[in-house]
Amino acid sequence: MKIRKAVIVAAGLGTRMLPASKVIPKEILPVIDTPAIQLVVEEAVASGIEEIIVVVAPGRTKVIEHFQPAEELERHLEERGKHDILEIVRRPNKLARFTIAEQAKPLGLGHAVLQARDAVGDEPFAVMLPDDIFDCPRPCLGQLIEAAVAREAPVVALLRVAHSEIPKYGIVAAKTAGERLFELTGMVEKPRVEEAPSDLAIMGRYVLTPDIFELLAEGKPGKGGEIQLTDALMALAARRKLYGYEFEGIRYDLGDRAGFIAAQVGFGLKRPDLAPRLREYLKSIVS
Ligand code: UTP
C-alpha cells in the first residue's frame, strides 16, 4: 500500500470562529504567523504525500492562493534584498502539487470527502481536517500511514478524551490489536457520555481505501442533515478490517476558540524567538 494523495477538506462554514471566518476561511487563520493549512500541508509532505487535493466552497480560493506565487510581494522583497523573508514567502509554493475540488454546499464532512473522488481515483489516500493541528515527535499522518501500510488496511487517528469532551466527537468501540493500535468494531457520532462505547475519539487524520467513496455516495443524510464520514466508516468496518491508531503527540483544535488560543501558546512556547517573552508574560498574569 502506498499513500501518495491527501485530501484536505476546507469547505465548512466555520461558524465557531465567526466573525473571524466571515471573510477569511478559518483554514487561513494563523498559528502564530503560519496559516493552519500550511502546517497541515507540511505535515502531509513530511509523511510522504506528493499530491494535495483541497476541497473548497465555490469561490473560496484564498486557501489555495497561499500556495501560489505572490509576484509583486516577491519582487518587492527581492529588490530590497530581504532574502530570508522571501524564502519564507516562497516556501508554500514548493511544498506539493495541488488540485482543487469544489463542494457546492456544506453538506457535511462525508460529502466534502466525496467531492475528491475523481481527483483521488482508485488508490488509498489520506484525509486531513485542517482544524486539527498536531505537535508530534513524528508527523501524525506519518504514524497512521505506517500502521496502515503494516496492516494493509484503513486507519483513523484516535485520542483519549475527558468524559466531558465525549459529546463533541465520534467515539469508537474498539479492541486492542497492537501497540497503540485498535481494531474498530463500531462508532457513534457525538454520543452522550452514558452511551459512549469508550473514551477514544476520532481525530482529523485518516488513511482510507477508495471503496469508502461508494459508501459515501450511497450515504443518507444523518445527524444534522449532513452526510457523515462516520456513517461511511461504519459501513466500511462491516466490509473489511478498520483500525484506529492512538497517535503519539499533542493535538490542538483550531476550530474552537479555546483550542485556537491553546495552539498559539503551545506553539509559541516551542519557538526560541518567542518563548522567553511569552513565558515571562504568562508567569506575570497567573501569579
Ligand atoms: P467542522 O465540523 O469543524 O465544521 O468541520 P465547520 O463548518 O468547518 O465549522 P463549525 O462547526 O461551523 O465551526 C470539520 C472540517 O470539515 C470541513 C471543514 O472545513 C473542516 O475542515 N467541512 C465540514 C467541509 O469541508 N464541508 C462540510 O460540509 C463540513
Q: Which CATH number fits domain 5-255: 3.40.50.720, 3.90.550.10, 3.40.50.2000, 3.40.50.1970?
A: 3.90.550.10
Q: Is ligand 1 within 6 A of the CB of residue 109?
A: yes
| Residue 260, φ and ψ in degrees, nearest 5 | -60, -45
Q: Distance from the CA of 189 to the center of ligand 1, in angstroms?
A: 15
pLDDT of 117-164, one tens digit each?
999 999 999 999 999 999 999 999 999 999 999 999 999 999 999 999
19 cis-preceded (ω within 30 degrees of 0): yes
Residues 227-254 have a mean pLDDT of: 95
Q: Where are the domains of the chain?
A: 5-255
pLDDT tens digit sequence for 235-248: 999 999 999 999 99
Predicted local distance difference test score (pLDDT) of residue 61: 84
Residue 154 is classified by DSSP as: -
Burial of 171 (0-12, 13-18, 19+ CB in 10 A): buried
Gap from CA of 16 to ligand 1 centroid (Å): 10
Q: Is the CB of 130 under 6 A from ligand 1?
A: yes
- Widest distance between CA atoms in the chain: 63
From the CA of 107, how far away is ligand 1's center (Å)?
9
pLDDT, tens only, 69-90: 999 999 999 999 999 999 999 9
Q: How far is the CA of 12 from the centre of ligand 1 (A)?
A: 4
